[in-house]
A and B are shown apart, each in its own frame.
Chain A
Amino acid sequence: MVWFSGMWLAIGLLMIITLLFVILKNGLTLFWPSKVIQIELVEGSEAAIQGASTLAGEVRKRQDKRVLDAEGKAIPEVQLFVGNRDAYGFGFRYIDQSDIVSQTYPDDIIVAERIEYGDLIAYPVSLKLASGVIAADAPDFRERLDSLVSLSNERRHEIERIEKGKIGAINQEMQALKLSLRKAELGGGLTDELRSSVEAQTAVLQTEYEVLATEASALRAAQKADIFVCRLANGAEREVALGDLIHFYHPNELGFFPRVGHFFGGIWSFLSEDPREANTEGGVFPAIFGTFVMTLLMSLVVVPFGVVAAIYLREYSRQGPLVRAVRIAVNNLAGVPSIVFGVFGLGFFVYLVGGSIDSLFYPERLPTPTYGTGGILWASLTLALMTVPVVIVSTEEALAAVSRGAREASLAAGASKWQTIQRIVLPASVPGIITGLVLSMARGAGEVAPLMLVGVVKLAPTLPLDTEAPFFHLERKFMHLGFHIYDLGFQSPDSEAAKPMVFATTLLLIALVVVLNAAAIILRERLRRKYASSAF
C-alpha cells in the first residue's frame, strides 16, 4: 500500500514537474538571444523566399515531417524564424534538411527589434542622415547607429509623455468642462454666463493642445528623418526609419556574458513595458499590475466577508439542521462553475449596482457608463464572491480548533462573548484564516472565465492606479495575465509568433501566484509562532 500510494504521488509530482519544466523552457527561450544562421538552399527548393535561395533566421525547432518520403523514411525539417514580416508577409519558414546546401553564421548580421512588424534580420548597408550617408564599413558606423537608436528612443518617450501625459490631461479637463455643462443643463442651472465661461476655458485648452500637438508632430517627423538602409538575406535592400528601431544586436558576435545580459534585459523589458502589436510583442506590465491589484482588492473584500460569516455560523448560530444546510450550501458554492459567477457579477454588480451608481451619481455622463460597465472593482467583487466559501470553511475550522479552555478562561474572567471572540478566538484563528486566504488567492488569481464578463480587456490604455486624482480608478477596465494567455494563444493573428509569449506569460502568472501565496504563508508562520502553544 505504501508503494501504491507513493507511486500515485510520484506520478502526480512528475506531471507537475514536467509541466513546469515545459513552461520554464519555452517561456525563457523567448528572452535568450539565439544565433542567426544563414542557409543556402538547393536550386528550386520550395522554401525559397521570393525566388532567392539564401535565407537567414533563428532556428526555433528541428523535427520530422508529418508525411514520410517515398521509401517510408522520416524527413527531417527545420523551422526557421526569418523575421522581416513586412517584407516577406510571414515570420516562419519550414525547410527540409535535404534542401540545405550550406549553413553559415555571418558576423555582421543584426537583429533589430522594431515597434512594428516584429524583428528585422538583415545586414546593415548604410545610414542616410541629413548630414550625409555613412556606409556600414565606416569605422564609426556602429557607434553612430547606437547613439542614433538611443536618441530615437528618447524621442519616442518624449512623444509618449506629450501625447499620453500632457494631451491626455488636457483632454480630461475638456471632458470635465463638457460634463459640468451637461450637469448644469440636467440640473436646470445652465446660464449663458456659465456657457460662455466654459467655452472660453475650452478655447484656452484648445490652443494649449495645438501647441503640444505641433510639438509632437515635429518629433514624429524627426523620427522619420533618419533612415537605416539594410540588405535582407535574399538580397533585397530595405529602408527603415531609425525611429522605428527599439534596439539592435549582433547575435553571432555576442559572447556568453553579453548574451546573458541580453537575456535579463529581455526579461526586464517583458516585465516592465506595455504590449505592442496586438499584444504579441513588448511587455505585459499592465497585465501583471491588473492581476496584482485585482487579487489584492479581492483579498480585501473576501477576508472580512468570509470571517464574519464564519463567526456567525460557528459562534452565534444554534447548531441545527438549518445551519448544517447552510454549511453544505456554502461548500457546494465552491463547486459552481466560475462562469456562472461571471454572469451573476455582470447582472448584479455591473448592471444593477453599477447602473444605479451611474444614474445616481454620474447622470451627466450617460449614456456613457462609468460604473455600469465591467471594471476592476466589479471583477474583484465577483471573484470575492466566488472564493468566499473557501475562506468561510477554513475560518470555521480554525474557530472550532480554538480550545474550550481558552474560551472558558476568558468568559470566567468576565468577558462577554464578543470580547472573547475578539480578543482570544480570532487571534488564535488568524493562521487558519490566512490559509483560507491563500487558497482563495490561488483560485482567484488564476481565474479567467468570469473576468471576461466583468471587466477584463485585451488592451487597457490606462492602469487602475495612476497619478491623476483620485488615483484609484476602480471603474476602469484592466488587463489580466490569465486572459492575456488566452488572448495570445488563441486570438492573436500570428499564433506561432506568440507561442513563446504564451509560455512566458504563463510562467509569470504562476510566479505571481507563488509570490502572493508566499507572502501570505510567511505572514501566517510569523503569527503561528506568536500564538504557538500546547494549550491552544
Chain B
Amino acid sequence: MMENTENLEEVKPMSKPSVSLPSSADSPPGTGPVRRPDYIQVRDFCFNYTPDVRVLHHITMDIPENEVTAFIGPSGCGKTTLLRNFNRMNDLIDGISHEGLITVDGQDIFDPNLEVISLRKRIGMVFQKSNPFPKSIYENVVYSLRIAGQRDKNILDEVVERSLKGAALWEEVKDRLQQSALGLSGGQMQRLCIARAIANQPHILLMDEPCSALDPIATAKIEELISELKEQFTLIIVTHNMQQAARVSDRTAYFYLGKLIEMDATKKIFANPGKKETEDYISGRFG
C-alpha cells in the first residue's frame, strides 16, 4: 500500500499522547546514553518450516535499543518469519527447526530453561490484522494483567488509562470502555491492539505490518504513535511500504529470499544504499 505523502501532511495535526509512559527500569529513556546497539543479537540464524523448506539463511544482525528498526523486502522474503521468532510465535507450527542464535538483552531466547511465557511478557506484538478479543475495550487492554492474576481494580484502571493514552486512543474511547471492542473502527482496533501490547510494559514491541489494512488517516496516526513509542520501547516493524519505513524507522534492514541483504541507518539506506539489489528495490525497479 503506497499512499500519497502530501495527504499525510494534511492530517498531521492530531492529539499527541500527553502522558509519559513509565520507563523500563534498566534503561531510562532519553535520560542517559545507555542505548545498547546490540540489544537484540541475531547470529548466523537459519530457520526451516520443514527440514526441506529453509526460509531464513544465516541472518546476522544487531538491533539497537529504543530505536525503530524496519524490516523491508518483497513478500515471502522471511521478514515476518524472523519477527515471529523474537517472541517464538513460530513455536505453534509443527515441524519447525532452527540453527544459530538469537539473544534478547544477552539472553538466549531458545534456552530450554527459558519460559516462553515470560519471554512473551517482555515482548509485545501487534499483528497485521487487528485482532481484538470479543470483549469490552477495558478487558482487551487488561488481558495480559488478568492472565497474570492481577485483580486490583485501581491498578487495572491505571493501566487502561495509561495504555490507551500511550496508544493515542484514550480521548476517543474513554466514555465507552465497557463497550465491545468490536464496535471500533479498523484504525481504532489496531491502536487498541497496540494498547493491549504495551499494557504489560514490555521492553520490545514487534509490529507485523500494522498499517497494511488501514486507510491513510489511520496509518498516519499509527505512524505518529510509533515515533512516540520508541522513547519507551525497542520497536521492530515489518512493512511493505517503503515510505513508511523511511518515515518512521531509524534503521532499515532489507531482506530478499530469506537473506539479509543490507542493514544500515534508514537515511543511508534510502539515500545511498550500499548494494545494487537494495537500490533496485527501494527505487521501485524491482519488487
Residues of chain A whose beta carbon lies under 8 Å from any beta carbon of chain B: 318-319, 403, 405-416, 419, 423-424, 427-428, 530-536
Contacts and interface: CB of A to CB of B under 8 A. Distances in A.
B41 interface: no
Contacts of B125: 408, 412
Given A409-B127, A413-B200, A532-B182, A428 B144 contact: no
A413 B144 contact: yes
4 closest cross-chain pairs (CB), A and B: A405-B131, A414-B121, A412-B125, A533-B182
Interface stretch (B86-94, B152-160, B275-283): B86-94
A419 B145 CA distance: 12
Contact of A414 (B117, B129, B134, B193): B117
B199 to A, nearest CB: 8
13 contacts: A407-B92, A409-B131, A409-B133, A409-B196, A410-B143, A412-B87, A412-B124, A413-B200, A414-B148, A415-B117, A423-B143, A531-B134, A535-B189
Nearest to A403: B131
Contacts of A423: 143, 146-147
A215 B21 CA distance: 85
Contacts of A415: 117, 143-144, 147
B133 A406 contact: yes
Contacts of A427: 134
B132 interface: yes
B120 A412 contact: yes
B120 A414 contact: yes
B130 interface: yes
Q: How large is the interface on B (under 10, 10 to 19, 20 to 34, 35 or more residues)?
A: 20 to 34
Contacts of B117: 414-416
Contacts of B89: 408, 411-412
Q: Is the interface of A mostly helix, strand, loop or mixed?
A: helix
B197 interface: yes
Given A411-B92, A413-B144, A414-B121, A535 B200 contact: no
Nearest to A413: B144
A535 B120 contact: no
Interface of B: 87, 89, 92, 94, 117-118, 120-121, 123-125, 127, 129-134, 143-144, 146-148, 180, 182, 189, 193, 196-197, 200
A534 B184 CA distance: 12
B200 A409 contact: no
Contacts of A407: 92
Given A412-B89, A414-B148, A533 B134 contact: yes
B182 A419 contact: no
A408 B127 CA distance: 9
A411 B120 contact: yes
A352 B206 CA distance: 58
A535 B132 contact: yes
A101 B196 CA distance: 91
Given A409-B133, A414-B148, 12 more contacts: A408-B92, A411-B92, A412-B89, A412-B125, A414-B121, A414-B147, A415-B144, A416-B147, A428-B134, A535-B129, A535-B130, A535-B134
A227 to B, nearest CB: 73
A530 B134 contact: yes
